[in-house]
C-alpha cells in the first residue's frame, strides 16, 4: 500500500469518513430494492420447480411432464435470480456484521431444514417437495414483510 504523505486534519478526516459512509449506504439501498412481484415470481418458480421435480420421482405416469415443468420452472427461477441481482445496476453484497444481513443468510437455511426433515420418511422426493414448498413460503414472507427482497 502506498501511503500518502499529505497532512490531513480531523475535519477533513470526518468529511472523508462521512462521504465514504454515505456511499456505502447508497450502495446498500440500491442493492436491496426489489419489487414485490419479482420476489413473488421467484418464490413461485422455485416452489413449482422443486415440487414438480420431487413429484416426478413419485408419479411414474406423469414423470416426463413433471420433470419438464420442473426444469423449466427452475430455469425461470435462475433467470429471475440473475435479473434481481443485477436490478438497478448494483448487485447486493452480504455484510455479516449487520443484523438484516444475518437474516438474509439464516432465513434461506429454513427450507433446507424442512427438506431434510421431509427426507427422513420420504427420501429424495420428500426433500425436493419439502424444500420447494418451504422456499415458496419463505419468498412469500419476504415479499409481504417489506415489499423488497
Q: How far is the CB of 105 from other proteins (least distance, A)?
A: 15
CB 15 within 8 A of CB 21: no
> Near other proteins by CB under 8 A, which window of 2-10, 33-41, 109-117, 127-135?
2-10
Binding pattern for the stretch 3-42 against other proteins, x by CB under 8 A and - elsewhere: xx-xxxxxx-xx-xx-xxx-xxxxxx-xx-----------
Instruction: State how far the Cα of 116 lies from the Cα of 138, in Å rounded to an integer.
Output: 16
Q: How many CB atoms lie within 10 A of CB 37?
A: 10
Q: Looking at beta carbons only, is 8 or 141 nearer to other proteins?
A: 8
- Residue 38 C-beta: closest distance to other proteins, Å: 16
Rounded distance between C-alpha atoms, residue 40 and residue 112, angstroms: 19
Q: Are 80 and 42 in contact (CB under 8 A)?
A: yes
- By CB neighbour count within 10 A (0-12 exposed, 13-18 middle, 19+ buried), where does 149 fall? buried
Residue 54's Cβ-side half-sphere holds a number of Cα atoms within 13 Å equal to 21
The residue (of 31 and 57) whose beta carbon lies closer to other proteins is 31
Q: Min. distance of Cβ 14 from other proteins in angstroms?
A: 5
Site string for other proteins, 70-99 (x = CB under 8 A): ---------------xx-xxxxxx-x----
Residues that bind other proteins (CB under 8 A): 1-4, 6-11, 13-14, 16-17, 19-21, 23-28, 30-31, 85-86, 88-93, 95
Amino acid at each position: 500500500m502506498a501511503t500518502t504523505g499529505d497532512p490531513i486534519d480531523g475535519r477533513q478526516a470526518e468529511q472523508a469518513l462521512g462521504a465514504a459512509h454515505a456511499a456505502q449506504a447508497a450502495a446498500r439501498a440500491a442493492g436491496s430494492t426489489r419489487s414485490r412481484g419479482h420476489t413473488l415470481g421467484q418464490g413461485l418458480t422455485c416452489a413449482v420447480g422443486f415440487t414438480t421435480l420431487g413429484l416426478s420421482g413419485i408419479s411414474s405416469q406423469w414423470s416426463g411432464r413433471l420433470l419438464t415443468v420442473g426444469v423449466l420452472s427452475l430455469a425461470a427461477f435462475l433467470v429471475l435470480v440473475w435479473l434481481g441481482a443485477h436490478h438497478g445496476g448494483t448487485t447486493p453484497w452480504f455484510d455479516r456484521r449487520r443484523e438484516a444481513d444475518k437474516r438474509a443468510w439464516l432465513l434461506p437455511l429454513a427450507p433446507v431444514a424442512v427438506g431434510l426433515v421431509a427426507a427422513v420418511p420420504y427420501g429424495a422426493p420428500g426433500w425436493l417437495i419439502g424444500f420447494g414448498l418451504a422456499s415458496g413460503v419463505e419468498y412469500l414472507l419476504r415479499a409481504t414483510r417489506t415489499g423488497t427482497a
